[in-house]
Structure 1
């Protein structure tokens, strides 16, 4: 029976293709329909050959022709669901044609039933194997195309960020993003041991939903990082919600037009670098406005910045709870314009406690807190962002 159908393969494959195209409107565009005909021809040949030779279905392998047509169908934009539905509809049609052929060739009743059952069971098992292999081929090609498109988009983005001659309108056309108006750049970083695009995309979707924004530009420069730009209304709150999942979020300041697009991105990248240096945990937000001084001071290297903090604070750098309270009190005292009672109100403690802790600070520093105030305040700010270490614990 397999040999008989193989002899009429061209007609059988044509009928199968027309049958499935008639049932699925998404297969009717000429380019897709042509590939469906070619794929049906290749699959029919492979199926009948395997059936006729009794190849066990667990040893069936997609032919190079079938794999090539699958990749071509991916490039047309046909969905995997549609492709697999097409395979199932064709399989149903083949089963009907197989039963008709058995009847047409006059196979006796009991023997005919055996042949019909065998061919039907083989077709169903073959369908399972082929759908699995086709899906694997489809996903591999879709991933390859996505990476190719992502790289092309990344190249376009780099050009927009660095080309001084590109205009805002040209940049918008190249990226498919409205460049005029105000933007805010974000950087999301996956902190997990095995970073995945899924975690970054989920965090971005949740963030966009929380902000009520869907029209954004997002690009992945590497497997751990996602760059994003959001249209930013003047009425929006500057504070961002914490990201979901194992993700760090950093944000630049809002900026207008192409220059703002670039500046906000640069700030977001610098902010996430500070977050990583400081060892911030997933689920935290680092705003450039809060770490700008740390960005400027770490431009010559984190080691020199830490040297500055340790040299300025001396024993006040110790990483223990009592010393931490003294540092916090001194910082509050500076922020209160050196007013004991205002600092006490800020901290929720008695003003005599503020005086006592400042005396402790002076003993640890080796000089009055009023000396070198700018250097001390800067070092305290940086220590609050980057963290502190005990003086004798090494780098």
Structure 2
């Protein structure tokens, strides 16, 4: 890169001095612009005051750099800017909002500086050289400060989550374990109303993540799911470790939850997160029972191959309640299905048709309609399944149906790799 012209350095110093003479006006204008563009930063007077202090310090520091030709490597992030990052982290305001505030604030700051440069009436070459220096130095400064602020935000967010959730987790364990709970005392300490309908969830990641990243990802999922089904308040989020969390979605007076919406929301979000849900329950007993069901469902889902993204208790309740020992269950499934318990495509097709056949009262016509198949194809598959098992599908159909449902949800975990 060509060396910068000395007169451009001097010209930028003059611009900085003139803009600095109006520092209160410049800072106020940038603050109003940022708040108008980013709704997440509005509404908390304390945070707004710290934002304004951060803007003032950043503007003053950058003008000081311009005016005195200070190398960027000697510049530290202003104290107010770092404190602002901490406050945003503590309040759960997205990191993206803070980064966007720097971008928009930078743009507004440049408008002030460029307007002042235009008033200097420099010749075209000097104007261009000064503009280039202004852009290079200011972008370098913003890049340096935002990187520092991001690190402070992430560190504070991790510490805040851990400290807050450790205390909350202890209170939740008391609620789950104790018979006599003082709701008037517990609800304010949890920041969550127990006298309403709840949907208990368990969310987890399949592998460990660095630092507090896993907790933050699971927290985002909890907020996304609550937002998608229009919960009456923020969810109760309790991390159990770095990759697993308990969640309660507050449903207010609603007695059921749109599980399909939750499943769709999960499919369109973080692809590595898995979630299991209990049934909706009311009050403290519903809080407990929905949680127990979600835990039991998670035990089942974690044993499945592949692990499903979303599983709700109502769909797998019989399997979840009996799946206390996967090895014993596998043996029972092999006994119930016989040679049909083989992990291959042909057996999978026959098992699925047999289960739908039982679900539709052993009607070939209804099964064909459900699977969008010809009736003769359904008859062929049922006959073939019966030949493989050595008995009619209708014979002992209760055990057969449970075994088929178990395989549907647990997949190859319960199957043989080859015929016995």
Matched residue of 2:296: which SS?
A: helix
Distance 1:181 1:383, change over 3 A: same
- Separation in 2 of the partners of 1:329 and 1:86? 61
1:363 aligned residue? 390
- Separation in 1 of the partners of 2:257 and 2:108? 53
Matched, 1:186 2:193: no
Distance 1:258 1:145, change over 3 A: farther
- Separation in 1 of the partners of 2:83 and 2:132? 30
Give how far 1:272 is off: 3.5
Give how far 1:200 is off: 8.6
Matched residue of 1:134: which SS?
A: helix
2:171 aligned residue? 160
Give how far 1:310 is off: 2.5
Matched residue of 1:163: which SS?
A: helix
**Which has the higher mean CA deviation after the structures are superposed, 215-224 or 25-34?**
25-34
Q: Please list every run of 5 or more consecutive structure 1 residues that lacks an aligned counterpart in the other structure.
A: 104-108, 337-341
- Separation in 1 of the partners of 2:358 and 2:52? 75
- Does the CA contact (< 8 Å) of 2:238 and 2:246 recur in 1? yes
TM-score when scaled to structure 1? 0.67
Matched, 1:278 2:290: no
Q: Please list every run of 5 or more consecutive structure 2 residues that lacks an aligned counterpart in the other structure.
A: 1-6, 36-44, 89-96, 369-374
1:343 aligned residue? 362
Distance 1:114 1:267, change over 3 A: same
Aligned match of 1:18 in 24, 34, 39?
24
Aligned match of 1:289 in 306, 310, 314?
314
How many residues of Structure 1 are paired with residues of Structure 2 in the alignment? 365
- Separation in 1 of the partners of 2:52 and 2:223? 37
Matched residue of 2:279: which SS?
A: coil
Distance 1:153 1:273, change over 3 A: farther
Give how far 1:207 is off: 7.6
Deviations 1:330-373 (A, max 9, x none): 7678778xxxxx423564569998995686366379xx945xx7
- Separation in 2 of the partners of 1:192 and 1:126? 42
- Does the CA contact (< 8 Å) of 1:35 and 1:69 recur in 2? yes
Matched, 1:240 2:260: yes
Distance 1:31 1:288, change over 3 A: closer
Matched residue of 2:363: which SS?
A: helix
Distance 1:114 1:40, change over 3 A: same
**Which has the higher mean CA deviation after the structures are superposed, 323-332 or 41-50?**
323-332
- Separation in 2 of the partners of 1:73 and 1:359? 69
